[in-house]
Amino acid sequence: MRKTIAILLVLVMVAALFGACTTGGQSSSSVAESSSKAESSSKPESSSSEEESSEPEIKERVDFSAMSYDELSTYLYDENLGEFYEFYSAAKETSNLDEKFALMAIAEAKLLESGVMLPLSTNGGNYAISRVVPHTVSSTLWGNDSDRLHNVIVCTEPLTTEDRTELRAKWNELKGSGTYEEFARSYLEEKGYEFKDTYTAGYSSDPKTWDALGTSRAADSDAIVNTFDGLFEYDIEGVQQPALAESVEVSDDGLTYTFKLREGVVWVDNQGREIAPVTADDFVAGMQHMMDAMGGLEYLVENIIENAGAYIYGDIDDFSQVGVKAVDEHTLVYTLSEPCTYFLTMLSYNVFAPMNRAFYESKGGKFGADYDAEDANYVYGKDPSNIAYCGPYLVTNSTAENTIVFQANPKYWNPDAVNVKTITWLYNDGSDATKAYNDTKNGVIDGAGLNASALELAKADGWFDLYHYVSETDATSFMAFNNIYRQRYSNFDDETKVVSAMTDEQKDVSNAAMGNVHFRLALCMAVDRGAYNAQTVGEELKLNSVRNTYTPGDFVFLENDVTVDINGTATTFKAGTAYGEIMQAQIDADGIPLKVFDKDAGNSDGYDGWYNPAEAAKELQIAIEELAEYGIEVTKENPIVIDLPTYVASERWVNTANAYKQSVEAALGGLVVVNIPECAEAAEFYSCGYYTDYGYEANYSVYNLSGWGPDYGDPSTYLDTFLPDGAGYMVKCIGIF
């Protein structure tokens, strides 16, 4: 049932056109290449000439053309991420939670050392102005609850800096007490603020689907999450509360979770007309559809829920053998394959969303082997009129690249929790860097981050002094992904769009370089991320949101002392040690000059621990020497060329791309040239990488649009995205699987 690739012959032909890739590992030196290049770069024929015989021997390059796409991907994964997977597998096998976290940290150190991606930033950490009361949207670090908007409180005027500071301090004092919202309302009323029951915000990407269970893209789920409720939900004080479930019982062995569902909850259509009651079977149907749809969520449960993996991979076709059962209309039971300490934290993500079986089937939906999203009769999730609703809002308007309107569900089970009755999203393509600020000032939208251009306006007109605040960062990690074996040089959905200017020779050299761990590290260490980030948030806050890891260094902490092996030395980490500190210990032991955790600050954010032009130059020289062994010459006259596509109508993306280009080219002495293929529209930019489903569709050498936010409270929510064999959702970003 897992998606398979039906164009292997075409891909083998593509692999034969574009050459080389070095193997990974810190001491790697072999270069892989297709047969079309092997003949010209293999060892010269013997000659009687003494001069010719003294020429250095050119090593033979691996022939990729004989490999299927999956075989090629597996080979490249093993060569480049083999160490990561070795340690991560060991972490998965241990039942000791502290040992698991320590081994995961070591595994992530190996992942970062591979240079397949450069951490860039997280959300927030920028100046902003807003009418939204702070902490009236959940600030939980994982899942979708931070995108649920029914609790939001909106004022008719922006909150002053002074009042916002007071409220944020009070939230820290009151969180967990259940009294913050009441305090915030009372405080603001005394200050003369008035509240309104509408909320308007900007958005930049339309949902590709309205099927909550068929997507893992944030641009989709950010909107859809407001149309349904889950079993439990994190409130605005960070406490998990019952939602569609009233209670849960966990068996003594930790394998069985029994939920009692709330009675009286109903499904409606987007006109508010009642369809059916919400029952336990809706969660069974939802889980099966999620596994059938293979939208990128299935990996989350394949090793957690009993027989989920067997169903996903087609080893069984009877879904009744999977560990999710409706005992009766209001009793739902999940059976796990083994105890999972973070299972309840997963409930906040759309992988556990319910779906009404009869409504789904009325829209052409089928289950199991009969599922076919390409069937002409299949319209489920195609637009907001083709889904059922059990959440706080109905989508009453969805006009592409224009407007999305959420209207309060008149039959919602908990109407008192809906603070705003109408939510309107207005499209902003980013072409006007000051539009969001001006729209906020004019009351068109209710808040905006201040980019570098808007910041100057706000300071000039006095709004900055009166209303500014620094937005809080979160656990989302945005990365610059390095494509280790590029196979597309135009967009997968339109080959006339974003066409690379590289010559065939440049493509071959670029692929060879991108496959070399030393080149990738050189590239990563050559990026001045402060200068890069300043293009978005301004010079004053340029380091605030800089992140140095994939998993935030303070995401989890050891509960007990634990001893693990660091390069042959038994190393003990004390209870309370942060995940990032263990990561840093492994990186230090490996002699890689990266700072990914600041022990004094206790986190992995707020400084640039990668930028190191001197070390970048050293790594580049090693890469050049290794490439030369395969007949690849790199000079200023014949530099390594890479493509960083960007959306040219957006000042922000143009400026960040140029900051990347200037930093890399300066640090690497002209031996690397960064091309910036132009994306005329936002959709073209997204199609270079964000909209792709497979690595072979990636149209870039480096891509800086994508990132990952955690789905639950365990580091595996990040690291699972780099599992092999198509299981890891983000592996496609580096050009494989």
Task: Tell me the per-residue pLDDT of 529-541, one tens digit each, with 9 for 90 and over.
Answer: 999 999 999 999 9
Q: Tell me: do 637 and 534 sit in the same domain.
A: yes
Q: Is the pLDDT of residue 435 over 60?
A: yes
Whether residue 116 is found in the same domain as residue 150:
no
CA distance 589 to 236: 41
- Which whole-number Å values give the CA distances from 32 to 13, 15, 195, 524, 567, in the listed order? 16, 11, 63, 22, 28
Q: Is residue 660 situated within a structural domain? A: yes
When pLDDT is averaged across residues 696-702 and rounded to a whole number, the result is 98
Residues 288 and 308 in one domain: yes
Mean pLDDT of 567-575: 98
> What is the number of structural domains in the chain?
2
What does the pLDDT look like over 667-692, one tens digit per residue? 999 999 999 999 999 999 999 999 99
Whether 385 and 482 share a structural domain? no
pLDDT for the residue 63:
84
DSSP 21: E
pLDDT-based confidence at 21, cuts 50/70/90? very low
Can you give the CATH number for the domain in which 197 is found? 3.40.190.10
Residue 651 lies in a domain: yes
The whole-angstrom separation of Cα 572 and Cα 263 is 51
Q: Which of 407, 435, 467 is the last residue of a domain?
A: 467
Q: Which helix (H) or strand (E) holds 643?
A: strand 640-643
Domain co-membership, 380 together with 445:
yes
pLDDT at residue 49 in the model? 39
Of 42-46, 369-373, 438-442, 698-702, which range is least confident?
42-46
SS (H, E, C) 188-199: HHHCCCCEECEE
Nearest to 371 by CA among 301, 293, 468: 293
Average pLDDT on 602-626 reads 97
Residue 1 within a domain: no
Neighbours of 77 (CB within 10 A): 25
At 626 the pLDDT is 97
Whether the Cβ atoms of residue 617 and residue 669 lie closer than 8 Å to each other: yes
* Mean pLDDT confidence for 346-367: 96
Confidence band of 441 (pLDDT split at 50, 70, 90) = very high
Domain limits at 66?
A: 8-122+475-734
Say whether pLDDT at 13 is over 80: no
Taking the C-alpha atoms of residue 636 and residue 670, their distance in angstroms, rounded to an integer, is: 6
The answer on 277 and 166 residing in a single domain is: yes
332 and 456 inside one domain: yes
Q: Tokens 């269970």 identify what position? A: 213
Summarize pLDDT for 542-551 with one digit per residue, the tens.
999 999 999 9
Res. 522 pLDDT band, cuts 50 70 90:
very high
Please provide the average confidence, as pLDDT, over all residues in the chain: 92
**In whole angstroms, how far apart are CA 601 and each of 554, 573, 577, 581?**
10, 18, 13, 11
Confidence band of 213 (pLDDT split at 50, 70, 90): very high
Stretch 158-162: mean pLDDT: 98
Amino acid at 145: D
Are residues 443 and 493 both part of a single domain? no
* Upper half-sphere CA count for residue 99 (Cβ side, 13 Å): 12
The residue among 23, 61, 25, 66 whose CA lies nearest residue 41 is: 61
Report the sign of the C-alpha dihedral through residues 128, 132, 137, 143, in that order.
negative
| 3-state DSSP helix/strand/coil % of the chain, to nearest 5 | 35, 15, 45
Mark out the alpha helices in 121-179 (DSSP H runs).
Answer: 161-174
Q: Any idea what DSSP says for residue 501? A: -
Residues 67-114 have pLDDT tens digits of: 999 999 999 999 999 999 999 999 999 989 999 999 999 999 999 999
Residues 94 and 172 in one domain: no
**Domain boundary, last residue among 448, 467, 486:** 467
Q: Average pLDDT in the 193-212 region?
A: 97
Q: In three state form, how does the secondary structure of 237-263 look?
A: CCCEEECCEEEEEECCCCCEEEEEECC
Residues 546, 606: Cα–Cα separation, whole Å: 5
Structure tokens at 382: 């195609």
**Percent of the chain whose predicted confidence (pLDDT) is above 90:** 88
Q: Is residue 387 part of a domain?
A: yes
**676 and 655 share a domain?**
yes
Inform me whether the pLDDT recorded for 42 exceeds 60: no
Residues 302 and 187 both lie in one domain? yes
Going by C-alpha positions, the residue among 387, 401, 363 that lies closest to residue 209 is: 387
Domain-located, residue 455: yes
Which residue type is seen at 144? Answer: N
Q: What is the pLDDT of residue 192?
A: 98
C-alpha 90/C-alpha 622 separation (Å) is 31
Mean pLDDT of 339-347: 94
pLDDT at 55 over 90: no
Task: For residue range 214-228, list pLDDT tens digits in order.
Answer: 998 888 999 999 999
- Which amino acid, one-letter code, is at 512? A
> Does residue 120 contact residue 705 with C-beta atoms inside 8 Å?
no
- Same domain? 116 vs 131: no
The answer to whether residue 233 scores a pLDDT higher than 80 is yes
On whether residue 95 sits in a domain, the answer given is yes
Q: How far apart are CA 242 and CA 262, in angstroms?
A: 9
Residue 399 has pLDDT above 50, yes or no: yes
pLDDT above 50 (res 50)? no
* Average confidence (pLDDT) over 373-390: 97
Q: What is the pLDDT of residue 65?
A: 85
Given 425, 443, 467, the domain boundary residue is 467
Cβ pair 724, 731 in contact under 8 A: yes
Does residue 3 fall inside a structural domain? no
For residue 470, what is the enclosing H or E element?
strand 469-470
155 has a pLDDT exceeding 80: yes
Q: What is the pLDDT of residue 56?
A: 66
**Largest distance between two CA atoms of the chain:** 97
